[in-house]
């Protein structure tokens, strides 16, 4: 059964700016340090990325996976589902957004299940690291602060 994790962070930036960064998949490797490549494989009829292939550093090795993005709740929610992955069986999640106090609350949901067996505490630690790193790097990129 996939493990699930959720974390929220308030970012001092308008939703429009955050949305623009998160939907520019080709630029992910410039600010998300663990991502080595991001390639839009397919776009929908409106030109939005619907399939994106990533290559990332994970557990001391390189991993490749492809995610399918849905745009039904844009710009309030950006969900994805794993289409294929070399070590992932499940890698589904979503960013959810709520504007507040001149900034945006960003909530990151993630469900992960790996093809390789790992102790539950190791998986939970990895999930927490993925989420906190993603949110922190997003905030740093959007606001220009560390």
Could you give all domains of the chain from N- to C-terminal order, each with its CATH number?
3-143 (3.30.530.20)
Q: Which of 51-55, 73-77, 120-124 has the lowest mean pLDDT?
A: 120-124
Per-residue pLDDT at 117: 78
> What is the C-alpha separation between 88 and 70, in angstroms, rounded?
20
Q: Alpha helices, DSSP H only, in the chain?
A: 15-22, 28-31, 120-143
Residue 1 clears pLDDT 70, i.e. is over it: no
Mean confidence (pLDDT) of the chain? 91
> What is the C-alpha separation between 38 and 28, in angstroms, rounded?
7
Residue 6 clears pLDDT 80, i.e. is over it: yes
Q: What is the mean predicted confidence (pLDDT) over 98-107?
A: 96
Closest CA to 58 of 38, 84, 31, 33: 33
> What is the C-alpha separation between 103 and 125, in angstroms, rounded?
28
Q: Which two tokens stand for residue 105?
A: 């609350």
Q: Is residue 126 very low, low, confident or very high in pLDDT (cuts 50, 70, 90)?
A: confident
Closest CA to 3 of 130, 95, 107: 130
Q: Is residue 65 very low, low, confident or very high in pLDDT (cuts 50, 70, 90)?
A: very high
List, in order, residues 6 or more apart from 110 with CB less than 8 Å away.
Answer: 4, 5, 6, 91, 92, 93, 127, 130, 131
CB 112 within 8 A of CB 118: no
Proportion of the chain above pLDDT 90, given as a percent: 73
What is the model's pTM?
A: 0.90
């Amino acid at each position: 059964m996939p493990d699930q994790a959720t974390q929220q962070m308030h970012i001092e930036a308008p939703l429009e700016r955050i949305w623009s960064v998160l939907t520019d998949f080709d630029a992910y490797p410039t600010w998300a340090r663990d991502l080595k490549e991001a390639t839009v494989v397919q776009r929908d009829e409106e030109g939005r990325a619907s399939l994106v292939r990533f290559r990332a550093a994970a557990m001391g090795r390189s991993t490749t996976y492809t995610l399918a993005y849905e745009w039904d709740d844009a710009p309030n929610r950006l969900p994805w589902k794993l289409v294929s992955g070399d070590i992932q069986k499940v890698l589904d999640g979503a960013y959810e957004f709520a504007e507040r106090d001149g900034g945006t609350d960003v909530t990151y949901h993630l469900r992960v299940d790996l093809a390789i067996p790992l102790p539950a505490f190791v998986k939970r630690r990895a999930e927490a690291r993925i989420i906190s790193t993603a949110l922190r790097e997003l905030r740093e990129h959007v606001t220009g602060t560390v």
